[in-house]
Chains A and B, each alone.
Chain A
Amino acid sequence: MILNLNINGKVRTVETDPERPLLDVLREDLDLTGTKYGCGEGQCRACTVLIDGRPVTSCRLPASSVGSKNIVTIEGLTQGDVLHPVQEAFLQEGAMQCGYCVPGMILTATGLLEKHPNPTEDQITEWMNGNLCRCCGYPKIIAAIRRAAEVRTSIR
């Protein structure tokens, strides 16, 4: 089946089995390897992408079900050489150990801040709780999200 996917602002054409997960199409057909496999059951959210601005796990999502919606992966968050404020905040806070969960964390946090520009502690926990970090770097990730919220608010 031929699919025309809107990924990071570009139409990407792939020929694929319609049942293949979006994660595999991104990684294996389009070489967008920033999106990670972690569990294959939507429990760790390392495979998070934004679909029309909303964080969605891609490990069990058939690529054919996305249609013409806008998909943003971690590679699409950077504008040229300029990092997205959430990426910049993760960098400044050193919010990573092995870093394998970081793309999913950053995209989920981006979705959170779109919806709640000044999130409460409970909102951060509620939105981020599905994302696992086995290095357990949660305190610094929370600090990075707070920093990103402050920066975004001060810009507006």
Chain B
Amino acid sequence: MRLTRDRDTCPEPERYELDEASRYRFDLSRRSFLGVTGAGLLIMASHEPAQAQTRNQRDTIAARLHIAKDGKITLMTSKVEVGQGSRTQLAQAAAEELRVPVDRIDLVMADTAQVPDDGGTAGSRTTPSTVPAVRKSAAAAREVLIKLAREQWSVEGLLKVEDGKITDTATGRTLSYADLAGLVDLPKSFEQNIPAEVKLCPVDQWTVLGTSPQKANARNIVTGSHRYPSDVVRPNMLYGKVLRAPSYGAVLTDVDLSAVQKLPGVTVVRDGNFAGCAAATSFGAQKALDALSSKASWKIVPHPSSKELFTYLKQKAATDESGPRKPRVRSKGSLQEGLAAAKQTVRASYEIAYIQHAPMEPRAAVAEWQAGQLTVWTGSQQPQRVRHDLADAFHLPEDRVRVIVPDTGGGFGGKHTGEVAVEAARLSKGAGRPVSLRWTREEEFTWAYFRPAGLIETQAGLAADGRLLAWDFTNFNSGASALESPYEIPHTHERFCYSEPPLREGSYRALAATANTFARESFMDELATAAKADALEYRLAHLKNERLRAVLQAAAERFDWQGARKRRLLGMGVGLACGTEKGSYTAACVEVAVDRERGAIKVLRMVEAFECGAIQNPANLRAQVEGCIIMTLGGTLSEEIQFENGRLLNGRFSKYPVPRFEDVPPIETVLINRLDLPSVGAGETPMIAVPPAVGNAVFDACAVRVRSMPIRGSALKS
């Protein structure tokens, strides 16, 4: 069974892991299964089903908003908070339309028993999709409240709404939302569809949106009292550990449970390819797992190495235009004609390594069974998907599964799946007690999915004056996001080809927009060099898109592009790049110092301009932009997953360098606030211009073009 995915939240549903089948489906007939669980847990006890949620429920005000008799306002959404600021921003959206201070709004997020299905948290969709949905429902609620006040007073005249109070302007009498909640049955009044046309607060009258209130839950974070998924504790809870394969694709052929079964207080579960232990402490569970591991036999399968990765991806690429996994092609004019007319042809290919998300909080889940009802607290960006995976794995109707996502320690596109929830639930079923399962950092590196690696081949034809006539661009494996060039070129052929990736792949902040923008913007620099043109002027000469031009010019101006080019000393270089994805626009200018003997690259300073329409929370936007810039410096300069014989060679922080304090250059951000344009998301696109800007600066510093991410310093050694 497959979930119907919301196109809104899945920018590339056919490409990314979102279509991956559930990883576990337990066989209920297995003797071992019944042996460890006891029959009682398999009986479907009669009980009130969890409040069933369907898509259309989000169209009623009641599915989204609740106002209690004490005036407390609760907003419900399936979106999750993983650090990107959705909890605060959605509260702002509701507060704006209800005309209350933001701290009056509480959010229930991502509890499948309570919230409407807004889809998962992905694709930068919260701002363009969920914020408008929340605003509409809050505005509709406001209109209902006004109507109720009118009825209470039997007046026709003008009513004013301010600070959670409705005022009859003729008499000055007031009713607060709490008053109304005491006088009428508000939940019942809210049981109505949100009208298609509902008047929203115009942007020039925003008083809550457009400001930067303190982050919701901030006090609990600084005092350590916020409970992340790894911190959830249930009565009588055990801690779990799962037996992992020694290499990718290995199949568990045999495991002797008897020794571990004798350990006091330890539950051991084997179910098909799944085996694991639970004990009173995670230390005890690990000891049991070590004992179990020594009794396990595996069938090992061959697996390619990262050294041959790009040859492998190209060999396995599906290029057949009529095949089942046919390439995605966009073309304009005639590539052949364009190339034939060109006076100069340039070719290059770029490699993008696998990288891992490595959020601070590895995957974690607490599972609890009660009378055939399963509740799981877990860190996931897709609570509905996790519920589906659990129902599928345990052959349950979805209304017997409740998934709750406490605000989680980072996601970055890496937490779309529910494997840890299923594993915790399987152990809990075996133990007959709640089980907390927290992946170790090494498990997170090894068994979570990766950002796809890719090979990108480009070719361009230039006219005698250097102008671009033809553009040919093929991405093998890494994805189609931002595949299309924003430049004005008469003849183009742009293609994404599927391959057979050796590692488990999935979503990652900005998807393939990073890879495609790296290749395109590096190549544009190579073409500017071939045309003997300035990198900025060459881009502007081919660019009509006003929003992209605006960020490029803003970044160049703040950076003093021409001045910086003139001032640079030996071993220093400057570079720029721009790009657009998911409706927002970004450009970066970078200055680097290069030491070729040591193979060292240091980013000295950076300017990034970013535009995402009307800014809804300036402080959070700045934090997202800075975070994106610094995070992507990791994939630019140091991060790459290495593997051999089905094992990771560097799956730990001591071997996989990610950005630290010492790696943060001085950063200036220029945030362009387009109040005349709809707001779009900003948690991803600010990444994409940084890698090529760094690569272009490295080339400017030492005339070596590094066509890979990461840009390895070792490539500079002469």
Contact = CB atoms under 8 A, between A and B. Distances in A.
A151 interface: no
A41 interface: yes
B627 A98 contact: no
Given A91-B214, A98-B409, A99-B226, A36 B360 contact: yes
Nearest to A131: B661
B452 to A, nearest CB: 19
| Range class of the A interface residue count | 35 or more
B448 to A, nearest CB: 13
Nearest to B445: A39
A133 B215 contact: no
A29 B230 CA distance: 15
A34 to B, nearest CB: 2
B150 interface: no
Contacts of B42: none
A137 B623 contact: yes
A96 to B, nearest CB: 5
Interface in A1-45: 16-17, 19-21, 24, 27-29, 31-41, 43-44
Nearest to A21: B283
A152 B34 CA distance: 62
A35 B658 CA distance: 22
Nearest to A43: B653
A155 B627 CA distance: 32
A102 B410 contact: no
A124 interface: yes
B360 A17 contact: no
A105 B267 CA distance: 37
A91 B219 contact: yes
B566 to A, nearest CB: 28
A96 B407 CA distance: 13
Interface stretch (B5-13, B79-87, B296-304, B381-389): B79-87
Interface string B401-440: 0000001111110000000000000000000000000101
A28 B278 CA distance: 14
A75 B225 CA distance: 7
A140 interface: yes
B214 A94 contact: yes
B686 to A, nearest CB: 11
B222 A87 contact: yes
Contact of B222 (A24, A96, A133, A140): A96
Interface in B52-92: 82-85
Kindly name the residue among A91, A97, A142 whose own CB sees the greatest number of chain B CB atoms within 10 A.
A97
A136 B659 contact: yes
B233 A33 contact: yes
Given A97-B84, A99-B226, A137 B626 contact: yes
A149 interface: no
B409 A125 contact: no
Contacts of B660: 129-130, 132, 138
A94 B218 contact: yes
B320 interface: no
A145 to B, nearest CB: 10
A106 interface: yes
Contacts of B440: 40
A134 B413 CA distance: 13
B441 A138 contact: no
Interface in B617-654: 619, 623, 626-631, 652-654
B661 A128 contact: yes
A67 interface: no
A100 B410 CA distance: 8
Contact of B408 (A40, A98, A130, A136): A98
Contacts of A98: 82-83, 359-361, 407-411
A78 B223 contact: yes
Kindly name the residue among B223, B225, B282 whose own CB sees the greatest number of chain A CB atoms within 10 A.
B223
A57 interface: no
B69 to A, nearest CB: 28
A43 B222 CA distance: 21
Contact of A134 (B218, B284, B631, B661): B631
A58 interface: no
A103 B83 contact: no
B623 A132 contact: no
A19 B282 CA distance: 12
Given A39-B441, A137-B626, A139-B667, A91 B360 contact: no
A101 interface: yes
A77 B225 CA distance: 12
Contacts of A38: 360-362, 441
Contacts, number: 172
A103 B82 contact: no
Contacts of A87: 222-223
Interface in B197-221: 212, 214-215, 217-219, 221
Interface string A74-100: 110110000100011011001011111
A24 B442 CA distance: 17
A124 B661 CA distance: 9
Given A39-B653, A97-B627, A136-B630, A73 B224 contact: yes
Kindly name the residue among B219, B225, B231, B662 whose own CB sees the greatest number of chain A CB atoms within 10 A.
B231
Contact of A129 (B219, B282, B662): B662
Given A73-B224, A91-B214, A97-B623, A41 B661 contact: no
Interface in B73-117: 82-85
A46 interface: yes
Nearest to B230: A37
B361 A36 contact: yes
Interface in A98-121: 98-103, 106
A36 B281 contact: no
B394 interface: no
A70 to B, nearest CB: 17
A43 B653 CA distance: 6
B145 interface: no
A142 B661 contact: yes
A99 B653 contact: no
Interface in B332-387: 357-362
Nearest to A102: B221
Given A33-B227, A139-B667, A94 B282 contact: no
Contact of A37 (B233, B438, B627): B438
Contacts of A137: 623, 626-627
Contacts of B628: 136
A37 to B, nearest CB: 7
Contact of A94 (B360, B412, B619): B619
Contacts of A78: 223
B350 to A, nearest CB: 24
A49 to B, nearest CB: 11
A48 to B, nearest CB: 11
B636 to A, nearest CB: 13
B623 A134 contact: no
A96 B221 contact: yes
B536 interface: no
Nearest to B441: A39
A38 B411 CA distance: 14
A103 B223 CA distance: 7
B661 A125 contact: yes
8 contacts: A24-B282, A41-B653, A97-B627, A132-B660, A135-B83, A136-B664, A137-B626, A142-B661
Interface of B: 82-85, 212, 214-215, 217-219, 221-228, 230-231, 233, 239, 281-284, 357-362, 407-412, 438, 440-442, 619, 623, 626-631, 652-654, 658-662, 664, 667
Shortest Cβ-Cβ A-B pairs, 10 listed? A34-B224, A98-B83, A100-B409, A74-B224, A99-B221, A97-B83, A136-B630, A43-B653, A33-B231, A100-B360
Given A29-B281, A134-B357, 12 more contacts: A20-B283, A27-B231, A33-B224, A34-B225, A37-B362, A83-B219, A91-B218, A97-B627, A125-B662, A131-B661, A138-B659, A138-B664
